[in-house]
Amino acid sequence: MKSNSVMVPEAKEAMEQFKMQAASEVGVNLKQGYNGDITARQAGSVGGQMVKKMKPIRTASYIRENRTAMGHSQLVEYGVTVTA
């Protein structure tokens, strides 16, 4: 199966609306159907906006020295949900 195909046929219209919303947010004018006339940069900005909205959780991690056990370190991880 192609990686860009919709796995649930009923979701096709919802994905189309999602793509149109993402395009509107980044200022790209898409039309229904074929959009082969837009630039790669425009297509990338639409795809990037879609990914940004689909993956709203950001994580950060680092290792720091343990404050209570000298000579030991511990992993610190933060998870943040980004909302609009």
How does DSSP classify residue 17?
H
Q: What angle do CA 30, 22, 28 make, to 5 degrees?
A: 40
* Residue-wise pLDDT tens digits, 46-62: 999 998 887 766 677 77
Neighbour tally for 22: CB within 10 Å: 21
Q: Which two tokens stand for residue 67?
A: 């404050």
In sequence order, the 6+-apart residues with CB closer than 8 A to the CB of 79 are 57, 58, 59
What's the pLDDT at 38? 94
- In this predicted model, which residue has the larger pLDDT, 42 or 9? 42
Task: Give me the chain's average pLDDT, please.
Answer: 82
